[in-house]
């Protein structure tokens, strides 16, 4: 069976997202951790990311004219862009702050709530339906990650609270982004999305930065390396592009399930880069269960796509046959002698039942009208 180019492109976007997300997480941990680069200012780092992303998007749209800005109304900006930007800023702020207290491996383990949180948020917002089989897969994924996190040794309450808060903020952000891209009638590519969202997120981050980190920067000597922060912001920009691309092609739940696979890879890499991250047999068992849930969920998604495409193909075939029969009947039509025959055939159910059978699939008013006009001329 051949795989379509669209499906291959979707899997490619998912792969790019997994690679970039893993790289940014490891990079942020290295920058923020007191044991390594020692830049313990997560809000400042996040503001650098948002400022750089917004500046690049501005130059691509306003200066180089790579893409055109969309017609953004005040209502859409207030009801969509501002809430998405707020939750986007909160998820990055809380998620980056957690790196100061807990390891990368444990952070990924705590994301057991993410598939469940995103699924139920999608159901509440109307972007997904509450299905029993999907719910069981979300539950299986979450149970697997919970099992893997049971044996965590380096537990920290503050870091755990930050990470869990960031999880719920990110779940809302993902679902709202899907609404913005798919349900508001906007054609937003990754550049225009960052053009509107990144500056607004920067403003939301400025308030906690002014209250929490600005006083610390005034009294503490913080080292600053331009190339470190430039490369870090560049990776974050590429990650933002990949997130919007994946959400635009799939959905909030799919990207979070793909995130579980990313967590599996990331935990293995973190144990090689950061000695404080360790993996036990219980971790491996839990993530194996989670991976089974990912495979089952992807199977259901493919099955749903095939089921949704089958009625469309059947509809097209039947419509072509109907038009063909209509064309033949117009050539064989005898206007005077067969009028009563046509009326009787309609009463006996040889004509209207075929139209009624097409009615649930497509609005067949035009086909019905043409068929009946030949019989009643």
pLDDT of the chain, 377 residues: tens digit per residue: 556 787 888 888 888 888 898 999 999 999 998 888 989 999 999 999 999 999 999 999 999 988 888 888 888 888 888 998 999 899 999 999 999 998 888 787 777 677 777 777 888 877 778 888 888 888 887 888 777 777 666 777 798 889 988 988 888 888 887 777 666 777 667 788 889 989 999 999 999 999 999 998 888 777 788 999 999 999 988 887 787 678 777 765 676 667 767 877 887 888 888 887 777 777 778 877 877 877 777 677 667 767 776 554 454 454 455 445 444 444 433 334 333 333 333 333 333 333 222 223 223 333 233 333 332 32
pTM across the whole model: 0.70
Dihedral pair phi/psi, residue 200, rounded to 5° = -70, -40
The rounded Cα 360 to chain-centroid distance in angstroms is: 31
Confidence (pLDDT) at 230: 95
Structure tokens belonging to residue 76: 């859409």
Give the CA distances from residue 260 to residues 131, 135, 158, in Å, rounded to whole numbers and listed in that order.
20, 16, 23
Give the CA distances from residue 121 to residues 83, 178, 298, 338, 369, in Å, rounded to whole numbers and listed in that order.
14, 11, 20, 61, 45
Confidence (pLDDT) at 150: 77
- Give the Cα separation of 199 and 181 in Å (integer): 18
Structure tokens belonging to residue 228: 């470190």
DSSP 184: S
Residue ranges of the alpha helices (H) in 274-337? 281-332
Confidence (pLDDT) at 376: 34
**Own/partner pairs, 23-30, CB within 8 angstroms, 24+ separation:** 23/235, 24/232, 24/235, 24/236, 24/239, 25/104, 25/107, 25/266, 26/104, 26/266, 26/269, 26/270, 26/273, 27/231, 27/232, 27/235, 28/96, 28/99, 28/232, 29/99, 29/104, 29/270, 29/274, 30/273
- Give the Cα separation of 93 and 7 in Å (integer): 33
Q: Which helix (H) or strand (E) holds 340?
A: helix 339-348
- Give the Cα separation of 14 and 362 in Å (integer): 34
Confidence (pLDDT) at 263: 74
């Amino acid at each position: 069976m051949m795989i379509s180019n669209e499906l291959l492109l979707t899997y490619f976007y998912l792969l790019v997202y997994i690679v970039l997300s893993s790289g940014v997480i490891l990079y942020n941990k290295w920058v923020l951790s007191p044991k390594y680069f020692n830049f313990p200012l997560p809000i400042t780092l996040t503001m650098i990311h948002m400022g750089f992303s917004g500046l690049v998007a501005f130059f691509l749209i306003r200066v180089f004219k790579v893409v055109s800005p969309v017609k953004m109304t005040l209502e859409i900006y207030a009801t969509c862009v501002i809430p998405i930007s707020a939750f986007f800023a909160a998820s990055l702020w809380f998620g980056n702050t957690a790196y100061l207290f807990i390891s990368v491996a444990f952070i990924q383990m705590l994301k057991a709530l993410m598939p469940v949180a995103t699924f139920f948020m999608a159901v509440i917002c109307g972007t997904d339906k509450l299905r029993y089989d999907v719910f069981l897969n979300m539950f299986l994924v979450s149970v697997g990650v919970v099992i893997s996190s049971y044996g965590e040794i380096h537990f920290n309450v503050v870091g755990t609270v930050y990470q869990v808060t960031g999880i719920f903020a990110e779940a809302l952000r993902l679902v709202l982004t899907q609404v913005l891209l798919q349900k508001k009638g906007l054609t937003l590519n990754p550049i225009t999305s960052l053009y509107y969202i990144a500056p607004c997120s920067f403003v939301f981050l400025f308030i906690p930065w002014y209250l929490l980190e600005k006083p610390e920067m005034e009294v503490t000597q913080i080292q600053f390396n331009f190339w470190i922060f430039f490369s870090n912001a560049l990776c974050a920009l590429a990650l933002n592009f990949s997130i919007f691309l994946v959400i635009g092609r799939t959905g909030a739940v799919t990207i979070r399930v793909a995130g579980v696979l990313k967590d599996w890879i990331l935990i293995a890499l973190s144990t090689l880069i950061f000695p404080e991250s360790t993996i036990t047999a219980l971790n491996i068992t839990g993530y194996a269960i989670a991976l089974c849930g990912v495979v089952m969920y992807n199977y259901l998604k493919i099955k749903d796509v095939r089921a949704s495409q089958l009625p469309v193909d059947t509809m097209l075939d039947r419509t072509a046959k109907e038009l063909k029969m209509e064309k033949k009947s117009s050539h064989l039509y005898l206007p005077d002698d067969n009028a009563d025959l046509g009326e009787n055939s309609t009463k006996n159910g040889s004509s209207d039942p075929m139209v009624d059978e097409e009615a649930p699939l497509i609005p067949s008013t035009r086909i019905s009208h043409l068929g009946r006009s030949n019989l009643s001329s």
